[in-house]
Amino acid sequence: MKSLVLATFVALAIGKSANKSLLPLSIPPSELWYEELPPNSRVHVLTQSSREGADGQWSTFVVEVGTPPQAVRLLPGTSANAGTTTWVVREQGCTLQNPQLSSTACASSRGGLFKSNDSTSWSTQSLSNSGVFELTTEYAESYLGLDGVGAYGFDTLSLGLNTGLPTLSRALIGGLSTNNYWIGSLGLSRWPFNFSNFDDPQPSLLTTLFNHSQIPSLSWAYTAGAAYRNSYGSLTLGGYDTTRHGLNTSSFPFGPDQAKDLLVTLSSITYDTFGSIPLLTQDIDILVDSMVTHLWLPTTVCHAFEQAFNLTWNETLELYVLDDSTHEQLLAQKPTFKFTITDGNDSGNAVDISLPYAAFDLSITQPYVEMEQRYFPLKRAHNDSQFTLGRVFLQEAYIIADYGRRNFSIAQALFPGRGVSQQLVSVYPPGFDLEAPRRKPSAGIIAGIVVGGVTLLAIVCGLGSWLYIRKRRQRGRKRTAVSGPFTIPSFTSNEKTSSPGQGAPLWDNGSKAMRELQSFANHAPQAGNNTYRMSELEAPVRVHEIDGRSHPVVELEAPLR
């Protein structure tokens, strides 16, 4: 017992000091957008062969999976639920799901394919149903029809490509073949993943890195990048990059529903054409979700867009497809859209995020359509559960999520030149003294902690022993003096009891894939729409600029229990 107390005391003291010296991890983008022209050109152009994505041009981030390593390019997944694991596209995502496509073009467009049979470290040991489960899209993406099945297993996961970033020796990987998610996802959620036959949850990537002291906190920062600005995306774990974070920013508490933590109030949508009227005038609660491409807005708002910009809804594709005439008019008009985000409490806490028309000037290709077509990435939401600001919005917005303080900030994204160095800033957990020196404790300090702990423990144990002996002696004298019957006083217990609730069935008899259990309950708020908000005090983050030194490869364990 003494050694356990002492070890805990020393570990806490050393761990607190060590966390202060940790640097954020910046995951480099894949940089596959552009083809270099001659040196005197100073211009980059998009090439169809390097295009990633079938519904737009997106900036991905490379990781390596398996042994030997297979490089795949992924999109960051900010979803609290679907972002609990890493998703990669399986070989079957092209060979079986899209046999009509060129195998090379399909693989490139989907960010590369993972072949689990070629990995000697791939394991589905202890997983029932051969590791095939439904994707964790409940309460968010599934409301938009974005669901599917994943083939799960454990394998090695390395961040970046020969970058010296950490390696997880046994990470949970989900293999995709569905077209609902054309590119795989690097999950950013802090919440664990539960299989139906597991008692212990599987920690997420973010939690594993934090638990192994590879990042200073459970936090991340992300902007999707913008092809029309020749600027790649930015992803930082445990901090943020000041060169991508604009001064126009506001902080918001996490939403009351844990499955929809990045919930904000969208108060208005306007555009800068003279004499224009607002496209949205009534507050709506809306989820920010990078795993969704489009903007899902109320049908009344969509109708306002239709009238203002001559958009036509295609019932078959369920998209606003643009003909050449409408596209030319929008290019000539060049409207800039302003989205006003608030906390919904009339507190004045708000931020305006501006998006140029170029952010909406997307094209869609196979397998969704036979011939490439331009479209406007706006979707009709049939109810408030579908309201979503997808990746289109994150082209011009920069988000910092801090799970320690249960809040996040949204800022206008910045687009520095390609030669501008990152300025990474650590986000520390609540309660850390940010003014304390960030250096590893010396051997003398550790020895002092040990000696002090032993001395304190000896004093406490000695005092406890003396009090125990003294009490026994006094109790013995009292028992000797009592000669008659006595009454034992009765005590009334105030302890409350509870009984476990009845769990929902894991799957129905007609299901082909087993459904995973969620690691958290989804409790609906007992109030009407747009009438609830979490109220918690904001804990400001005090930060320091740090250098961008490289990190050694560290074999991290994502334990299977």
The residues that bridge with 350 in the sheet, in sequence order, are: 342
- Looking at the predicted structure, is the pLDDT value of residue 506 above 50? no
Query: What DSSP character marks residue 460?
Result: H
Per-residue pLDDT, 127? 87
DSSP class per residue in 285-311: EEEE-TT--SEEEEHHHHHHHHHHHT-
Per-residue pLDDT, 435? 59
Instruction: Classify 190 as helix, strand or coil.
Output: coil
Q: Provide the mean pLDDT of the chain.
A: 80
Q: Which domains does the chain have, with CATH numbers?
A: 234-426 (2.40.70.10)
- C-alpha closest to that of 350 among 247, 249, 244: 249
**CB of 256 within 8 A of CB of 80?**
no
First CA to last CA across the chain, in angstroms?
A: 25
Report the C-alpha gap between 506 and 419 in whole angstroms. Answer: 52
Longest dimension (CA), the chain: 109
Give me the phi and psi of 527, to 5 degrees please. Answer: -160, 165
Confidence of residue 213 (pLDDT cuts 50, 70, 90): very high
Count of other CB atoms within 10 angstroms of residue 224? 28
- Looking at the predicted structure, is the pLDDT value of residue 114 above 50? yes
**CB of 14 within 8 A of CB of 441?**
yes
| Mean pLDDT across 384-389 | 98
- Looking at the predicted structure, is the pLDDT value of residue 505 above 90? no
Query: What DSSP character marks residue 6?
Result: H
Quote the pTM value: 0.75
- Looking at the predicted structure, is the pLDDT value of residue 481 above 60? no
* Antiparallel, parallel or unpaired: β 284-288 and 263-271: antiparallel
Report the C-alpha gap between 14 and 448 in whole angstroms. Answer: 12
**CB of 294 within 8 A of CB of 378?**
yes
Per-residue pLDDT, 475? 45
More confident site: 437 or 408? 408
Per-residue pLDDT, 490? 33
% of the chain at pLDDT higher than 90: 63
Report the C-alpha gap between 370 and 54 in whole angstroms. Answer: 12
- Looking at the predicted structure, is the pLDDT value of residue 224 above 60? yes
More confident site: 462 or 475? 462
- C-alpha closest to that of 79 among 223, 205, 262, 211: 262
Interval 241-275: pLDDT, tens: 999 999 999 999 999 999 999 999 999 999 998 88
| Mean pLDDT across 385-404 | 99
- Looking at the predicted structure, is the pLDDT value of residue 397 above 90? yes
Instruction: Classify 410 as helix, strand or coil.
Output: strand
Query: What DSSP character marks residue 243?
Result: T
Confidence of residue 311 (pLDDT cuts 50, 70, 90): very high
